[in-house]
Amino acid sequence: MAFHSSLPQNKTRQFRNWWRQHRRMVILGSTTGLLLLGAIPVTQFAVSQLTAPTPEESTPKANILPVETLTAEPVTGYEVSRTYTGEVAALRSSNIGFERSGQLVSVLVESGDRVTARQPLARLDTQNLQTQRQQLLAEKSRAMAQLAELQAGPRQEDIAAARAEVQNIQEQLRLKKAQRSRREFLYNEGAISKEELDEFTYSENALKARLTQAQSNLDKLRNGTRPEQIAAQKARIQQINANIADLDVTLSKSTLKAPFAAIVSHRQIDEGTVVSAGQPVVRLVENATPEVRVGIPANTAQTMRVGQTQTVQLGEQTYNATITSILPEVDPETRTQTVVLDLKQAALTQINPGQTARIEIKERIQQTGYWLPTSALTEGVRGLWTCYVLTPSPDNPEVYQLQQQSVEIIHEQGDRVLVQGTIQPGDQLVATGVHRLVPSQEVRPVVATSQR
Q: Considering the entire predicted model, what is its pTM?
A: 0.46
**Topology classification of domain 288-353:** Elongation Factor Tu (Ef-tu); domain 3 (2.40.30)
- DSSP string for 91-103: PPEEEEE-SS-EE
Pairing mode, strands 65-71 and 442-450: parallel
| pLDDT at position 224 | 67
Q: Place 29 in a pLDDT band, splitting at 50, 70 and 90.
A: very low
Domain definitions of the chain by residue range: 2-55, 65-76+368-450, 93-125+254-286, 288-353
Are 259 and 96 a contacting pair, CB within 8 Å? yes
pLDDT band (50, 70, 90) for residue 195? confident
| Fold designation for 93-125+254-286 | OB fold (Dihydrolipoamide Acetyltransferase, E2P) (2.40.50)
Question: 349: which DSSP letter?
Answer: G
pLDDT digits (tens, 9 = 90+) for 293-351: 999 998 888 888 899 888 898 888 888 889 999 998 888 888 899 999 988 766 766 77
Q: Of 403, 439, 398, 445, nearest to 60 (Cα)?
A: 398
3-state SS class at 305: coil
Each residue's pLDDT tens digit, 42-91: 334 333 443 444 444 444 555 788 999 999 999 999 888 889 999 888 67
Q: Spell out the residues 6+ positions from residue 17 whose beta carbon is closer than 8 angstroms to its own.
A: none
171 confidence band (pLDDT: 50, 70, 90): confident
35 pLDDT more than 80: no
> CA 443 from chain center: how many Å?
60
What is residue 41's predicted lDDT score, i.e. its pLDDT? 42
Tell me the CATH class for 65-76+368-450: mainly beta
**pLDDT score recorded for residue 300:** 86
